[in-house]
Copies of this chain bind each other. A is one copy, B any other.
């Protein structure tokens, strides 16, 4: 004699027990103030008694809003998007919106599959970081969901963009290093459009002032701690040792510092290091890491605000939100 499988209670069960119609229960759940006080209490105790949990699949189908947003990033570990994701998930969950997480890696196929999956779930918005393929473009344009590209400001965003100019960031790093008198930078660039824009900004500015072009290395994304050994080895093999290393993330910068110190060099005296992202470690490392602060949490909040305002199939109120960036000079450069 096994216990009978008790089916999960539905709106009907609650309505029956409270002696009202399902419509009223539905109203109570979505808009409590429109039902009379006494009714509200009966419903609310019926919900407690039955242990009712609304079925958002059904609700979403009927109302054609899913209260769900997709967040698509390349990686989770050593990712400069971490603050953005953390804030995003926290604030959305608090507001009753579910976050669907997708990791695109660097694969276009995976990206497309994830977008399709998101659209299948009829998400209210898609937060995206990465290159937009024509297929993605096509799928996204016909959907009512708001498409938000973050951490970048493309010229012609599909929906809206919340980010900053990577080109300008690269340029400002170059200016900063010049102002500090550095002469031979080494630039480490990860694959990917954003990293390349920073690189371009840096190199253009650097050369425009008559300097020799910097030496360069590349790494696979993400720019993580683990790449530091190889990068540092490459640097040491250079005919002329650079006096500053420009990294694509604070994690990589941290790694380079560790390697330099282990090799007996002083940072920044013998070799300086610049990071990117102003991750929590930047201010805690010894030496503390000079970095470019990007307000990842604000990116998240701006995106969320836009989602709140958004009406299906409508273009967003503003197409670009520039959150800027700020160079934080610390000990490492």
Contact = CB atoms under 8 A, between A and B. Distances in A.
Interface in A87-120: 89-90, 93-94, 96, 98-103, 105, 110, 113-114, 116-117, 119-120
Contact of A54 (B53, B60, B120, B224): B120
Given A138-B51, A225-B284, A280-B225, A89 B61 contact: no
How many copies make up the complex? Answer: 2
A82 interface: yes
A193 interface: no
Contact of A93 (B103, B119, B285): B103
A185 interface: no
Interface string A51-72: 1011111101100001010010
Interface residues of A, number: 65
Contacts of A286: 258-259, 261-262
Contacts of A66: 57
A121 interface: yes
Contacts of A71: 101
A235 B260 CA distance: 26
A179 interface: no
Interface stretch (A139-147, A194-202, A300-308): A139-147
A116 B53 contact: yes
A224 B280 contact: yes
Contacts of A258: 258, 285-286
A119 B86 contact: no
Contacts of A259: 286
Interface of A: 5-6, 8, 51, 53-58, 60-61, 66, 68, 71, 75-78, 82-83, 85-86, 89-90, 93-94, 96, 98-103, 105, 110, 113-114, 116-117, 119-122, 138-139, 142-144, 224-226, 228-229, 255, 258-259, 261-262, 280-281, 284-286, 313
Given A258-B286, A262-B286, A114 B93 contact: yes
Nearest to A224: B280
Contact of A120 (B55, B110, B113): B55
22 contacts: A8-B142, A8-B144, A53-B120, A55-B61, A55-B120, A57-B121, A76-B82, A76-B86, A76-B89, A77-B82, A89-B101, A89-B102, A90-B103, A93-B102, A99-B100, A100-B100, A225-B281, A225-B284, A226-B281, A226-B284, A228-B284, A259-B286
